Structure 1
Amino acid sequence: MPDSIVGPVADPAALRDYDALRAELAGVVPADRLITDPLRRLAYGTDASFYRLVPKLVVRVDSEAEVSAVLAACRRHNTPVTFRAAGTSLSGQAITDSLLMVLGDGWHRSVINDDGSVIKVQPGIIGAEVNRRLAPYGRKIGPDPASIESCKIGGIAANNSSGMCCGTHENTYKTMLSLRFMLADGTLVDTGDAASVASFRVSHADLLARLDAMGRRVREDEALANRIRRKFAIKNTTGYSLNALVDYQDPVDILAHLLIGSEGTLGFIAEVTYRTVPELADKASALLLFPDIVEAGRAACLLNGGPVAAVELMDRASLRSAKGQPGLPSEIDSMGEDVASLLVETRAVSPEALRQNIAAIEGLLAGVTLLRPPAFTTDAAEYTKLWKIRKGLIPTIGAMRQTGTSVIIEDVAFRIEDLADACHDMRALFDKHGYPDAILMGHALAGNLHFVFAQDFSTQDEIDRHARFMDEMVHIVVEKYDGSLKAEHGTGRNMAPFVELEWGKAATALMWEIKRLLDPANLLNPGVLLNTNPRLHLENLKPLPPAHAIVDTCMECGFCEKMCPSHGMTLSPRQRITGLREIARLTALGDPATELRDLYDHHAIDTCAACGLCATACPVGIETGQLTKALRGKRHGPRARTVAGLMARHYGAVLAATRGALNLAAFAAQAVGPKKVASLAAYARKLSGDRLPHTGPNLPEGASMAWLKDLPPPTATGEPVVYLAACAGRTFGPAVEDGESDPLPAVTLRVLERAGFRAVVPDNLPNLCCGLAFESEGMKEAADAKAAEMEAALKAASDNGRIPVVMDASACTQRMKTYLSNRLPVKDLVEFLAQDALPRLTPTPQAEPVLLHLNCAARKMGIDPQAATVAKACAATVVVPERVGCCGFAGDKGFVEPELNDHALRFLAPQVPAGCEAGYSSNRTCEIGLADHAGVPYRHLVYLVDRATR
């Protein structure tokens, strides 16, 4: 392994230098947000780039006061600090070997004006969430990076991200109305607050005078000023936003706009006020196919200025990588090896205007050669498939690379009239340096190309090959086309050595002057964006050794993190993979990695909900929960497997014993109150060293099985349906103070009968289980044995699928749907209610507001819209709380790792509406934890249907 690939775990002796800093911060930041253990420092040392540095201290900050305290401590200790939002950065700008300041939970506030034309937003909100908040106004923010579902406002502003539609006219720089920021000296400035600006003009008169003089000097230098204007006429994030010096004269405005795109090297961005842009409702998209990329480039030039919102270029290699994905035309396979495409979207204020746009676009395309006529679709489901292909291309290519190689993603821009020739030159460059599988794609209207290829960094020869490619690529972009080396991904470490080559000595000297003026001690993200080391882009390269077949295709993009209930408490899916890779790397070197393994057990394996939601956000569908289950399985010895087998064979007895224990707890709760029992149980759990299970105030009673006696006879009227009451509903009844006394199966039978159905229950029901409880612990043999047993019972009861089969726990339904693989059709009760029962019923919506929890399995099966449909039919007000995804109860985790449930639901309670009657979902165990944290009962959605149709 070459010297340029460094082991990510720092020398423990180096940590001693940070002891005093950590001790000082402990008086300001809670201990659980000061991270020093080697596993999590390693995990936070990863962003989406191919670089790796390990911070010596990670601090999760929740307020401006904490940011100020950290900056003050760093100044006193002369310690560099790097700011981090979502860590989706592709150029290595969100990593450090010093102190990493990560945005915590306290940065999610937004304020929208009356018509939605202005939004004030904090840096911790994911970009797509901002747009969801603006959607009722028909507005959105201008920047639209492909990672908008994962990246945060802090990163969008700090990198001046753009994207597919915003071009150079709707990025943060152009749509920012004001900025709230903190300088390296701790000064907080809000350019939207007159008093703040007035105070700043007094306190920092000298700094502003120097900025003013700098601006005057640049504007008076006609050659330099024109150079800056030309450079920013196309997308450009190489170096600082020097256009601030020619676009603005007030030094406060200059300073605010210099911070945009500065990658955290000039100050901390605490809030951005955006001028929003219209989100037109009428849209149409088409995938246009051309004989080669040059013709596609010609078409892009013709479309420039036409009624198009986005024009995305994808070359033949891009299309090949997306083969088989929904939405991609199958005939592409039979087309030539040079075929290229443009994905075009047009938007309008009305359907008629949209038709006119399409006609105009077709007219513009009359002058180019198309392999098939344009076929625009206005079907949202269809065009969403096309855009999902485009947005997922980078991680998709990452998943196709050879294990152990890195994903190289470069991001350049040209004048649009040079795009076709530049594409041709780039393809020749790939062939020359041995990258035949590289793909070219990008935002054609902006002349913005991304190229992606796999690179092996395991030998010095391979590193040298990459260096030669980079040198030649840089010269082509800069010297032949005068383009941008970084169009929208930020300079980072990746292009810092080439800033002067692109900008020239005078402009680069100006950038260094700005850096020294605003950060004289060079403590803010030093080395990023500006660096004199010509080989910086070849150092601190991230090792990606094989770790496990389930996750080896991961490129650590971080798209998964927003879905994970343990993210921010222990590890996210990306961080679990990072940790496992490091353990694998050390093991291959003969190091047992004992400390990392011990930490990994708790932070990665024990506290993973294994919910699988990460796969829904991953462009290549990696489900880290499967990895967790596999690792749990490896921990189990023969004795544990024997016990699991015994439990599986005597499952009915196990559930009966559980019901008995629950009834004892319920008896105590009725005697002294649920909260008192929960308090005593918490004390007992603490005394036991957390060996006893956690029980909250909403611990259910044991479910009565008396409903089995009330089943309709085979001769009863009604359309037959096989009803499988899952083991959770057969075990957990309502809580003592729920207000409902009937168990889930009894209520389901009542609703089925009311809708004209006759329930049929499989034989041996008390012993049936889908196997999920065993699968989640990695006990695959026991899990599949139970699933096979259930399959046989369902086939018999349903006459081999002739009679519909309905299951009442979404997690169990999802498990059986996966296991059965269409051998037997199964519906979740939520689906059945929406599709079959409600059309036969006449619900009267209740006035009291209700909460709706869209659990993991419902989301993975895609039935969450149906859950919302059912809820809205039965209640006048339905609230789906923001930032509440997987509840973290995860079957038994709410009992054995309650901190996971606490962390996942930390945002729930403040969103419970006044007068809320209850919350509803479709997994009984989830509902236990939800009720504890919301302070209102949670039940299956069928209870709400029952109430509304009585």
Structure 2
Amino acid sequence: MHEQLIDELRASVRGRVLADTLDRYMYASDASAYEMLPICIVVAMDVQDVVNTVKVAYKYGVPVTARGGGSGLAGQAIGSGIIIDLTRMNRLLALNLDEGYVTVEAGMYKGVLDRELRRYGKFIPVDPSSSDYCTIGGMIANNASGAHTVKYGSMIDYVEWLDVVLADGSIIHAGKVDLSDDGVESRLARELYSILAPKMDVIREGFPKVSKNSSGYRIDKVINEDTVDLAKLFVGSEGTLGIVVRASLRIIDMPRFRGLALLAFDDTYNAALYVRDMMRRIKVATLELIDRTVLDIARGIDSNFGYGYKDYECMLFVELDGNSIDEVRSMMDKLISISSDAKGLKHITCSYDEDEISRLWEVRKRALAYTMKVRMGNGKPIAFIEDPVVPVDKLPDLVDALRSTYKRYGLRYSLYGHAGDGNLHTRPILDLSSDDGLRVMKALAYDIFNIVKNMKGSISAEHGDGLARSEFVRLLYGDEIYSLFVKIKHMLDPKNIMNPEKKVTNDSYLLIKNLRYSKNVSRDGDGNGNMLVWGKSSAIARRITGYEEELAYVDEVSLCHGCGMCRELNYKVRMCPVYKGLQDEVASCRGRNNVLRWLLNLADKVEVQGTLISKEYEELIYKYCIQCKMCLIDCPSNVNVGKIMAEARARYAKINGLPKGYAYFADIDRYAKLACRYSWLSNMLINSRLFRVALEHLAGIDARKRIPRFSSKIFDDLFHEYRQPALDKSVAFFADTYIRYIDPILGLKIVKILNLNGYRVEYPEQFSSGLPAILEGAVDKAKEVVEFNTSSLYPYASKGIPIVTFSPSASLALRMEYLNVLDDHRSRTVADHVQDIHEFLYNLKSRAELVEFKPVDEDILVHMHCHTIVQGYDKHVTSLLKSIPSLRLRILERGCCGVGGSYSFIKGNYAISMQIGRELFDAVKASKEKVYTTGESCRLQIEEGSGRDLGLTIDLIARAYHI
């Protein structure tokens, strides 16, 4: 049946129908703890695709689940039937500033819409922490809220009308409907009215007494006198009644000014008491709470968090906004006044500076990210009771009840959330691969949800029911209201195909079914069978994650919790550049991790082996990761996807060999030396179309990719010819490929800069860094290179002599990647002594030892190489350049250039690499300033993509020294 269904879908829709095993694995999970393997995925291109897909599903009686960003925490975006990916339906259809509304397709990301509205001083205040990577359709389906709901309301308050595809494939325009009108909407409204109107007293009495609610169907909002608002029925319905494809939303003016107060408390309960009392006396824009679990992680990792509240248990973030600074300051004065006698208040800090407010807000926005960093053996912070809301007067009682319940179970937990709404996000740490963990999960859910019900609260304020909470909806509302939900579900979805088992279910074990945490995960390849070393963290990884030890390979793969931040499109984070370029699930870190995790969990080893040798699997692990490493810092869980891909590639290459093209870069010294020796010939050939076509066919090097000219003399020769002054201090210089074979003159400039600052340069015997070999699966070659370079550099490092590099990728290799191949006292000593040239000069500056720069009168933009950012010295580059007199600089942040080291040279990757860098290229084209970058590979790629000449930041420094 499935083959026939899939064929019919392919004949019915414009978009792609994905039915291969790997594609199905990618869509089997979302940001929840659950996974379900679908039959297929339809990537819808327009409304008609959705209509036709639902009609096919209706014909075959197959479940259909709409999916946006897949960022939901309760399992709403997964299913066992057809998944409809709506993210290609992402157009802004209308923007009416006079009447105050915007109309969009359901797949538009909230962050993209925010950026557009901000141009006009407008916004939709609903701001979940996933705004940058969740869709408008998903927010409607979930009745999303966020930090500003306390003042501005939830998604249900901003929906004007919706276009909805029903279970039979028909489409309705859902808005306010007059019961006397004709048409399908009016007939539907009259039927709905006949069900609800006699029960309105029951509904009013039985619904939670809270400011926001995403549990059940919002039938309390549907009837207003003789009018039925059909749109309100679908808001929060999680795709169980119909699929929202278009929406018109109310927009309002953004407040012009805001202030932020940070209040530190000695106890979370005292903070809750303060919230209860303060909310009666002042109207805040936000009132957020973070407990010590989150604060401790933030202090240890996040430089934005500079106030050092190390002895405090809880912090409140209180934002006040208005249309004048005097208005905001007046409210802040009142806040400070009423806080003077607050029990347990230890410190208060206020700010009106927009940059500082935004910086501090990032700490709160990343609370989930900090929570997900907690590791306790197989235990993970689990979302299933993470969204309770109670009347704000009951907030202290909720805090007390949560604390005592967790203590009774002996569980560690985190607590943060929208305290001003009485809404707390809490996650216990549980091992769901154990029977005991499942038992505790079930019992804890009943305990907490009963507590919430007794406080007249809701089991979900903004995250919805999904697989995690649907079995408890009856408990919350009681039989009479729940029976209304069942009637409405049957009325609109008689075949029960619309995202079944969400909202309405008879399954009393739904909570603990379909969990992604397997007892049977394969550890084949762990320990001595690993291709790479998985052990003690590098200093870079330790700074980022806060952990001394890496996870095992299988645990690193499972660390991804599926939030979808790697699908962010607003360039607030660089991760994931491949997704930004292609915008397909396969291009996201999450999609690739899902496949690898599924393979590790599969019991059928024949299927696993078949997958591991397939062309599709080769493309998955090679084509969709450019080893930028931004996932390590931008992913909330700090999943080292780059290392996961390197391990997967090494395992693949062991069986199948390296794909064509990669072998050349794994042994770059051999070929580059030869090219330099015969540079007159090699430079002629790389510009020959005929030769490049042949090279592409024979060696797998894309004929379109611009190859830089080889130098007739390598850096080694120029260095030994150059006479350095006699100096007491010394550094060892690691040149790497670009300086050795392409631009040795740049290497001499660096030597002269170091000489000028009092350092003699030693040049140990060396290969290129070997990074392509390490990252692309040539492990034997990588070990050879790493062993040689480590042995050559160790005598210098062991004496405390700094090892100075120029290429950001070379310093990353020496500091982090070498330890993935050779982890001993020599490689660790070398790693500890590596400094990029910018870092080295910055450190001289910080010790007042740097020779002063001469003026450089220029306006410039600076693009940071991804590996510069990962290593954490991007700020040092900025500080160093700002110390050059007369130089005026701005940071250009439009993401990754897409070069990926050797990636863009490989046949089949070139077009992707250029697509990844497109927005950056456009920004460079449009800029009037000269553009500089910290990395040689970025320079070559951006020049090719933009048609403009770029400079290197080290060139600027050389100019500032008149070198």
**Normalising to structure 1: TM-score of the pair?**
0.78
Which residue identity does 1:144 align to in structure 2?
A: D
Give the conservation status (yes or no) of the 8 Å contact 1:28–1:66.
yes
Say if 2:580 is the partner of 1:583. no
For 2:442, the equivalent position in structure 1 comes to: 467
Distance in 2 of aligned mates of 1:518 and 1:74: 15
For 1:810, the equivalent position in structure 2 comes to: 808
SS of equivalent to 1:23: helix
Which residue identity does 1:86 align to in structure 2?
A: G
Give the conservation status (yes or no) of the 8 Å contact 2:27–2:38.
yes
Give the conservation status (yes or no) of the 8 Å contact 2:469–2:511.
yes
2:636 to 615, 619, 643: 619
SS of equivalent to 1:372: strand
1:34-113 correspondence runs (5 A): 34-105=17-88, 107=90, 109=92
Give the conservation status (yes or no) of the 8 Å contact 1:704–1:730.
no
- Alpha carbons of 1:621 and 1:464: their partners in 2 closer, same or farther (altered >3 Å)? closer
1:293-304 correspondence runs (5 A): 293-304=268-279
2:609 to 569, 572, 594: 594
1:531-930 correspondence runs (5 A): 531-544=505-518, 548=553, 549-562=555-568, 563-567=575-579, 568=584, 570=586, 572-586=588-602, 593-599=608-614, 601-607=617-623, 608-633=625-650, 652-659=669-676, 664=681, 666-668=683-685, 670=687, 680-681=693-694, 685=697, 692-705=700-713, 714=724, 726-732=736-742, 743=743, 746=745, 762-764=761-763, 767=766, 769-777=768-776, 779=779, 781-782=783-784, 784-785=786-787, 788=790, 791=793, 800=801, 807-816=805-814, 823-828=833-838, 840-844=854-858, 854-861=864-871, 881=894, 885-896=895-906, 898-899=908-909, 902=912, 905=915, 908=918, 912=922, 921-926=933-938
Distance in 1 of aligned mates of 2:594 and 2:810: 30
Give the conservation status (yes or no) of the 8 Å contact 2:561–2:637.
no
Say if 2:282 is the partner of 1:267. no
- Alpha carbons of 1:276 and 1:612: their partners in 2 closer, same or farther (altered >3 Å)? farther
2:417 to 442, 455, 459: 442
Which residue identity does 1:826 align to in structure 2?
A: D
Which residue identity does 2:566 align to in structure 1?
A: C
Give the conservation status (yes or no) of the 8 Å contact 2:732–2:762.
no
Which residue identity does 1:79 align to in structure 2?
A: V
1:7-406 correspondence runs (5 A): 17-27=1-11, 33-105=16-88, 107=90, 109=92, 119-167=102-150, 169-187=152-170, 205-212=183-190, 214-215=192-193, 218=196, 222-224=200-202, 226-227=204-205, 231=208, 233-246=210-223, 251=228, 254-265=229-240, 266-276=242-252, 278=254, 280=256, 282-291=258-267, 293-304=268-279, 305-306=281-282, 308-315=284-291, 317-319=293-295, 324-326=300-302, 339-347=313-321, 354-370=328-344, 372-376=346-350, 380=355, 384=359, 387-388=362-363, 391-393=366-368, 396-397=371-372, 399-403=374-378
Q: Deviations over 1:797-817 (max 9, x none)?
A: x9945xxx8754333344456
SS of equivalent to 1:388: helix
Distance in 2 of aligned mates of 1:468 and 1:220: 36
Which residue identity does 1:286 align to in structure 2?
A: L
How much has 1:422 moved relative to structure 2? 2.1
How much has 1:495 moved relative to structure 2? 1.8
Distance in 1 of aligned mates of 2:224 and 2:853: 61
Q: Which runs of 5+ in 1 are unaligned?
A: 1-16, 733-742
2:488 to 503, 507, 514: 514
Give the conservation status (yes or no) of the 8 Å contact 2:39–2:81.
yes
- Alpha carbons of 1:566 and 1:907: their partners in 2 closer, same or farther (altered >3 Å)? closer
Give the conservation status (yes or no) of the 8 Å contact 1:325–1:389.
no
Distance in 1 of aligned mates of 2:49 and 2:678: 46
SS of equivalent to 2:83: strand
Give the conservation status (yes or no) of the 8 Å contact 2:13–2:48.
no
Distance in 1 of aligned mates of 2:246 and 2:851: 50
Distance in 1 of aligned mates of 2:428 and 2:330: 39
Give the conservation status (yes or no) of the 8 Å contact 1:755–1:837.
no
Report the RMSD for the aligned CA atoms in angstroms: 5.0
Distance in 2 of aligned mates of 1:71 and 1:638: 42
For 1:493, the equivalent position in structure 2 comes to: 467
Give the conservation status (yes or no) of the 8 Å contact 1:286–1:383.
no
How much has 1:356 moved relative to structure 2? 3.8
- Alpha carbons of 1:444 and 1:594: their partners in 2 closer, same or farther (altered >3 Å)? same
- Alpha carbons of 1:312 and 1:793: their partners in 2 closer, same or farther (altered >3 Å)? same
Give the conservation status (yes or no) of the 8 Å contact 1:928–1:938.
no
SS of equivalent to 1:504: helix
Give the conservation status (yes or no) of the 8 Å contact 2:373–2:638.
no
For 2:534, the equivalent position in structure 1 comes to: none
- Alpha carbons of 1:376 and 1:945: their partners in 2 closer, same or farther (altered >3 Å)? same
- Alpha carbons of 1:776 and 1:364: their partners in 2 closer, same or farther (altered >3 Å)? same
How much has 1:85 moved relative to structure 2? 1.6
Distance in 2 of aligned mates of 1:793 and 1:308: 61
Q: Deviations over 1:773-817 (max 9, x none)?
A: 343246464454465468569879x9945xxx8754333344456
Distance in 1 of aligned mates of 2:116 and 2:460: 31
Q: Deviations over 1:224-270 (max 9, x none)?
A: 46347x6374220001222431358655xx22232222212222334
Q: Which runs of 5+ in 2 are unaligned?
A: 524-552, 569-574, 817-827
Give the conservation status (yes or no) of the 8 Å contact 2:372–2:380.
no
SS of equivalent to 1:48: coil
- Alpha carbons of 1:323 and 1:754: their partners in 2 closer, same or farther (altered >3 Å)? closer
Give the conservation status (yes or no) of the 8 Å contact 1:809–1:828.
no
Give the conservation status (yes or no) of the 8 Å contact 2:388–2:458.
yes
Distance in 2 of aligned mates of 1:102 and 1:598: 28
Give the conservation status (yes or no) of the 8 Å contact 1:402–1:454.
no
Distance in 1 of aligned mates of 2:49 and 2:691: 38
- Alpha carbons of 1:754 and 1:495: their partners in 2 closer, same or farther (altered >3 Å)? closer
For 2:537, the equivalent position in structure 1 comes to: none
- Alpha carbons of 1:278 and 1:791: their partners in 2 closer, same or farther (altered >3 Å)? farther
- Alpha carbons of 1:790 and 1:811: their partners in 2 closer, same or farther (altered >3 Å)? farther
**Normalising to structure 2: TM-score of the pair?**
0.77
Which residue identity does 1:210 align to in structure 2?
A: L
Which residue identity does 2:774 align to in structure 1?
A: E
Distance in 1 of aligned mates of 2:711 and 2:329: 59
Q: Deviations over 1:680-711 (max 9, x none)?
A: 358x53xx6xx622231523332454888699
Distance in 1 of aligned mates of 2:71 and 2:77: 8
Which residue identity does 2:186 align to in structure 1?
A: L
Give the conservation status (yes or no) of the 8 Å contact 1:40–1:571.
no
Segment drifting more, 156-165 vs 862-871: 862-871
How much has 1:420 moved relative to structure 2? 0.8
SS of equivalent to 2:474: helix
- Alpha carbons of 1:559 and 1:830: their partners in 2 closer, same or farther (altered >3 Å)? farther
Distance in 2 of aligned mates of 1:663 and 1:274: 66
Give the conservation status (yes or no) of the 8 Å contact 1:111–1:120.
yes
